[in-house]
Amino acid sequence: MRKFNNKSNLAGPIIEKYRLQANMSREQLARQLQLLGINMDRTSILRIEKSEVLLKDFELIAIVKILGIDYHELEKFI
């Protein structure tokens, strides 16, 4: 599996930060994703936040939309 700085994704910590700022649980985020047709559970969100799994582009776009993350925030990690 490809990694960058030994991480499977770089967006995980940003997602966790914004999710907590929104006072949203992982379960709530998973439900919002499911409403958009993305099958994900709270464990999947945890693994994304801990940078343990690859994050697909459509998953990232949906999470950014739900949490109101500015795309430029993601650039800070590269």
CATH number of the domain enclosing 19:
1.10.260.40
Residues 34-54: pLDDT tens digits? Answer: 999 999 999 999 999 998 988
Number of structural domains found in the chain: 1
The residue segments making up the domain with residue 55 are 12-69
Residues 50-71: pLDDT tens digits? Answer: 989 889 999 999 999 999 998 8
- Enter the pTM of the model: 0.86
- Count CB-CB contacts under 10 A for residue 24: 17
The answer to whether the beta carbons of residues 10 and 73 sit under 8 Å apart is: no
The verdict on residue 74 lying in a domain is: no
